[in-house]
Every structure is written in C-alpha cells, then in structure tokens.
Amino acid sequence: MSELREDSSGLAKSQVVAVPYLSYEEFGRRFLAYAASPERIAGAFGKLTGEAFEFGPIGAGPGKLAKLSATVRLGQPRLNREVDDIISFDLVIPLKVDLLIDLAVDRYPFRVDGTIHLHLTVRTAEPLRVLIEIADPQPSNVRINVASATRRGELLRIIASVDHEIRRFVARYIATEIGKPHIKAATDIDVGARLDAAWTL
C-alpha cells in the first residue's frame, strides 16, 4: 500500500506503508470470531424477547383429573462466549410462567421463574460456510422455581408433575422457534455466496 506525499519542492512522491500481514490460520480465526460475534447471535435470539405463548389445558396427575394451563413469557437472552479450539456459546433465556391447576372444584395458581439454557457451537463446512449449531433443547435444559401459596398447592404440584410438564412444553416451544427462518439465516452463513454477490456488485 502507498500514499502520495509532496516533498519540499512541491512534487509528489510515493511513501510505502507497511501492511500488518496475518497468517491464513490467524485470519481464519479472526474471521470466525467476527462472523459468529456475540452481537450477531444475541440479535437473532433477541427477537424472542417479550414473546409469550400458552399451553393447555392438559390433563395431569392420576387419571388426568387435574387440568394445567399456563402463559409463558420470555425475557432478554444472556450470552457467554467461549473461545478455545472451538468457539461456543452458552445462551440463557429467562422465563416467567403464570400457571393454573384446575380441579373443577377448586383452582390453584402458581408463579414460576426460571431459565432456558442452550449450547451453541461454531462450525465450518463445505464449500465455504459458517454454521452455528444449536443443541436440541431438552426438558433438562429448562430450570424452574415453582412457588405456591399453600401446602395443598405444593402437594398438588408434585402429584400433577407440574415441573415436568412446564419443562417439556417450554423445551418443545424453543425447539420450534430455533427452527424458524430468521434463526436459520443467522446461524447458517454462506460465505462463498456472499462473496460472489459482493464481487458482482
């Protein structure tokens, strides 16, 4: 690279500027870190923020006599990036649940706080792609705290397997959401196609 400068006589002369070269390996590492930046990943999952979904009523407990229904709200995701031999992320999505157990003769409300934990891994693939793989959400990835105002409510929570049902439905919902186009677009970067498009322009 060079710049044109004027000497004392007013004539332009070329001045060589040193270029800080990188090895192919270092360039690749920097490129991956940039392509799979925390901002890019957080932006994709940030669209889940404030989303609410409902499930139920579903039968639960002995004889499926108890009917569970709930409204689940998702909060702002938090992201931690690990850079080692492999670049990976731990994504934590807060959630709040308003749960109701209906026994026909009585109703018991519950307040639930918790988090959803997802693991993401950055991969490279042919012909020239950057993939951000998301481990399939499982009920074990959903951690919750269920609060009831009464002892009877706490006993009913255990009998009706309330915790398991919440984890199962939340995991299934998140699995559906991460399969949607805007998440897919942010986690599958076709570098070759983008370079070709830029070259055409």
Query: What is the reported pLDDT for 5?
Result: 52
Alpha helices in 36-126 (DSSP H): 38-46
**How far, rounded to the nearest angstrom, does the alpha carbon of residue 57 sit from its chain's CA centroid?**
28
DSSP string, 113-171: EEEEEEEEEEEEETTTEEEEEEPPP-GGGEEEEEE-SSHHHHHHHHHTTHHHHHHHHHH
pLDDT per residue as tens, the chain (201 positions)? 444 455 555 545 556 678 889 999 999 888 888 888 888 888 877 777 777 888 878 887 777 778 888 888 988 888 888 888 888 999 999 999 888 888 877 888 888 899 999 999 999 999 899 898 999 999 999 999 887 767 877 787 787 788 888 898 889 888 988 888 888 888 888 888 888 888 875
Lookup: tokens for 166: 């919440």
Rounded to 5 degrees, φ, ψ at 156 are -65, -35
Query: What is the reported pLDDT for 1?
Result: 47
Query: Which domains are present in the chain?
Result: 38-200 (3.15.10)
